């Protein structure tokens, strides 16, 4: 009887040890995001909205490297930007004006309100005191789907046009989000996957 109890305890210890080892070897998933923000130059029929400010509370400035690192985000150098051909096509377009491009890696994107990157571009606009483009973007995993959450405003002298969208993204595919004045091209890939 005591030998049977000893074997049961031994199996229990082995099981606990195996579970501990399995959780200890779980690896963080790292994703890479390449993003282009562009403006639509054509005449817009949609009227701007006054006071349509994006929600950028808690968004991290791109030059705050300590905060980015603490959030598991690493900005990549311009030479590593993966959407060069799309950037070149937008530069040669009469309809669209590429504003900025950005690449970063992010460890374990959260499911809910996660680390957001503050995007600001352009001169301060008369009347609003805001840059031409202001807002934030963040990469999340919502219900197991990679998701880009963008809340940006194109601030004209007479109001703002918003791009406020949350989009599921398939890995390794180019995605397009847009509004009357702003657009985003984005691609997410898993780092370390051949």
pLDDT tens string 94-125: 999 999 999 999 998 887 778 999 999 999 88
pLDDT at 26 over 70: no
Q: DSSP assignment of the chain, as one string?
A: -HHHHHHHHHHHHHHHHHHHHHHHT----EEEEEEEEEEE-S---SPPBTT-----TTPEETT-HHHHHHTTEEEPPGGG-S-HHHHHHHHT-SSEEEEEEEEEEEES--SSS---EEEEEEEEPTTT-SEEEEEEEEEEEETTEEEEEEEEEEEETTEEEEEEEEEEE-TT-EEEEE-SSEEEEEEEEETT--
Closest to 75 in 3D by CA, of 89, 58, 61, 96: 61
Note the pLDDT of residue 52: 66
Distance, in Å, from the CA atom of 161 to the CA atom of 180, rounded to the nearest integer, reads 7
Residue 17's Cα: distance from chain center in Å? 37
pLDDT at 24 over 60: no
Note the pLDDT of residue 19: 44
Q: 144 to each of 35, 65, 122, 137, how far by Cα in Å?
A: 21, 28, 35, 19
* Percent share of the chain, pLDDT over 90: 58
For the chain, give the mean pLDDT.
Answer: 84
Note the pLDDT of residue 15: 46
Q: In this predicted model, which residue has the larger pLDDT, 193 or 144?
A: 144
Distance, in Å, from the CA atom of 73 to the CA atom of 22, rounded to the nearest integer, reads 26
Q: State the distance between the two ends of the chain, measured CA to CA, in whole angstroms.
A: 54
Distance, in Å, from the CA atom of 193 to the CA atom of 62, rounded to the nearest integer, reads 27
Distance, in Å, from the CA atom of 147 to the CA atom of 177, rounded to the nearest integer, reads 12
Q: In this predicted model, which residue has the larger pLDDT, 48 or 187?
A: 187
pLDDT in tens, 43-95: 777 887 766 678 888 899 999 999 999 999 999 999 999 999 999 999 999 99
pLDDT category of residue 12 using cuts at 50, 70 and 90: low
User: Model's pTM, two decimal places?
Assistant: 0.81
Note the pLDDT of residue 91: 97
pLDDT at 27 over 60: no
Write down the domain spans for the chain.
Answer: 28-190
């Amino acid at each position: 009887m005591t030998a049977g109890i000893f074997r049961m305890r031994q199996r229990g210890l082995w099981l606990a040890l195996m579970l501990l080892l399995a959780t200890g070897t779980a690896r963080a998933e790292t994703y890479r995001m390449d993003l282009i923000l562009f403006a639509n130059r054509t005449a817009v029929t949609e009227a701007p909205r006054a006071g349509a400010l994006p929600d950028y509370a808690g968004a991290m400035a791109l030059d705050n490297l300590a905060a980015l690192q603490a959030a598991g985000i690493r900005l990549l150098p311009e030479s590593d930007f993966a959407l060069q051909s799309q950037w070149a096509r937008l530069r040669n377009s009469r309809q669209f004006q590429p504003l900025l491009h950005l690449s970063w890696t992010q460890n374990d994107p959260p499911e809910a309100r996660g680390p957001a990157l503050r995007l600001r571009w352009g001169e301060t606009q008369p009347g609003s005191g805001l840059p031409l483009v202001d807002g934030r973007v963040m990469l999340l995993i919502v219900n197991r789907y990679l998701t880009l959450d963008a809340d940006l405003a194109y601030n004209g002298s007479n109001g703002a046009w918003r791009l406020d969208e949350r989009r599921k993204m398939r890995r390794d595919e180019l995605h397009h989000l847009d509004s009357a004045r702003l657009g985003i091209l984005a691609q997410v890939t898993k780092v370390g996957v051949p």
